[in-house]
């Protein structure tokens, strides 16, 4: 009995989530813990970097190493963690505002660098934590307290951006399809290099447009069709669909993660355990004297 509890609680903390009842964050949280279990990872071998927002509050609810970064800055922290300790599984969790608003530059550069981490976006099309302002993913015309006459811009499409930036693993999930999300996360975490899992997530308090019912009317699973996720252009067509919303792996291709290409980086052990090797830099210094 004690053993069963121990196993079930491997990624559990003693903190209870403060998310609103019914929030999609719950199912993403449970799917992530289930995926880590399925991959038989140990908490001490996983680092999760969080952004700011309701999604970022997950920092308190998963028992792994964690870092709660600044708004929009979680990805570069995750990249650095992987570089200095390549033996760790690195996951970055953030909101759509965090990653596609403040952090959009980091997002594109992290994708094109193919940094070896799994990026989970809680894509609720609104700012949750700051009580319902427009997010970069909000639908055109969506009325919020910061846009009382409706959003004027086109929404940002995370999957299409990742594909355009050369991403080698691009997937979408839906918080209302938890077991499907577990499988998608397992594949994403296994993929070497940058993996995007853009999770469509209802915010039951501040988004009365993109509800569970709204998503259930539109989503379909790529794995249930003949779709093979090996063609970038076809994946782009899938990512751009708007009347219906495909979930699952849109694209997976050959991938060499960034840290494996860095000349001189010793990946056999963490940087902290490496001895500094003295180097003679006198020729460089002399060049500038
Ligand atoms: C640079 C910066 N700008 C704005 C904020 C204020 N802020 C905190 S959370 C948040 C919205 C978070 O929205 P999102 O990232 O979509 O996450 P959610 O709460 O919806 O999960 C904002 C604007 C901040 N903390 N830092
Ligand atoms: S405000 Fe929205 S995103 Fe935040 S916890 Fe509540 S339902 Fe979830």
pLDDT in tens, 230-239: 999 999 999 9
Q: Are 98 and 55 in contact (CB under 8 A)?
A: yes
Q: Are 47 and 115 in contact (CB under 8 A)?
A: no
| Residue 128 Cβ < 6 Å to ligand 1 | yes
* Residue percentage of the chain with pLDDT more than 70: 97
| Residue 54 Cβ < 6 Å to ligand 1 | yes
Assess whether pLDDT exceeds 90 at residue 110.
yes
* Segment 153-170 mean pLDDT: 98
Burial class (CB in 10 A: 0-12, 13-18, 19+), 154: exposed
Instruction: Name the DSSP class of 93.
Output: E
Rounded distance from Cα 289 to ligand 1 centre (Å): 48
Measured from the CA of 19, which atom of ligand 2 is nearest? 5
* Segment 136-159 mean pLDDT: 98
| Residue 205 Cβ < 6 Å to ligand 2 | yes
Rounded distance from Cα 181 to ligand 2 centre (Å): 19
Helix (H) or strand (E) holding 197: strand 195-200
* pLDDT computed for residue 279 by the predictor: 83
pTM for the whole structure: 0.95
Confidence of residue 8 (pLDDT cuts 50, 70, 90): low
Measured from the CA of 18, which atom of ligand 2 is nearest? 5
| Residue 135 Cβ < 6 Å to ligand 1 | yes
Integer Cα distance of 142 and 156 in angstroms: 14
Q: Print burial letters for 166-185: b (CB count within 10 Å at least 16), e (below 16).
A: ebbbbbbbbbbbbebbbbbb
Any idea which of 60-69, 144-153, 199-208, 273-282 has the lowest mean pLDDT? 273-282
Beta bridge partners of 173: 199
């Amino acid at each position: 009995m004690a053993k069963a509890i121990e196993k079930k609680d491997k990624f559990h903390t003693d903190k209870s989530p403060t998310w609103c009842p019914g929030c999609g964050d719950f199912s993403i949280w449970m799917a992530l813990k289930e995926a880590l279990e399925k991959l038989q990872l140990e908490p001490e071998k996983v680092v999760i970097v969080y952004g700011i927002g309701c999604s970022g509050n997950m920092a308190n609810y998963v028992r792994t190493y964690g870092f709660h970064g600044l708004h929009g800055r979680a990805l570069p922290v995750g990249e650095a963690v992987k570089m200095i300790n390549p033996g760790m599984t690195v996951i970055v969790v953030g909101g759509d505002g965090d990653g596609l608003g403040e952090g959009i530059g980091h997002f594109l550069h992290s994708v094109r660098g193919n940094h070896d981490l799994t990026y989970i976006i809680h894509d609720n099309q609104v700012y949750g934590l700051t009580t319902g302002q427009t997010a970069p993913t909000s639908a055109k015309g969506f009325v919020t307290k910061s846009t009382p006459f409706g959003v004027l811009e086109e929404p940002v499409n995370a999957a299409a951006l990742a594909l355009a930036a050369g991403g080698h693993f691009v997937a979408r999930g839906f918080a209302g399809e938890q077991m499907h999300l577990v499988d998608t996360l397992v594949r994403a975490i296994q993929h070497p290099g940058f993996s995007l899992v853009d999770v469509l997530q209802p915010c039951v308090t501040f988004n009365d447009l993109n509800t569970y019912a709204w998503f259930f009317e539109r989503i379909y699973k790529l794995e249930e069709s003949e779709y093979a996720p090996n063609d970038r252009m076809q994946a782009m067509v899938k990512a751009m669909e708007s009347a219906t919303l495909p979930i699952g792996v849109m694209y997976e291709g050959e991938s060499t993660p960034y840290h494996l290409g860095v000349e001189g980086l010793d990946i056999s052990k963490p940087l902290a355990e490496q001895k500094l090797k003295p180097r003679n830099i006198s020729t460089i210094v002399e060049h500038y004297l």
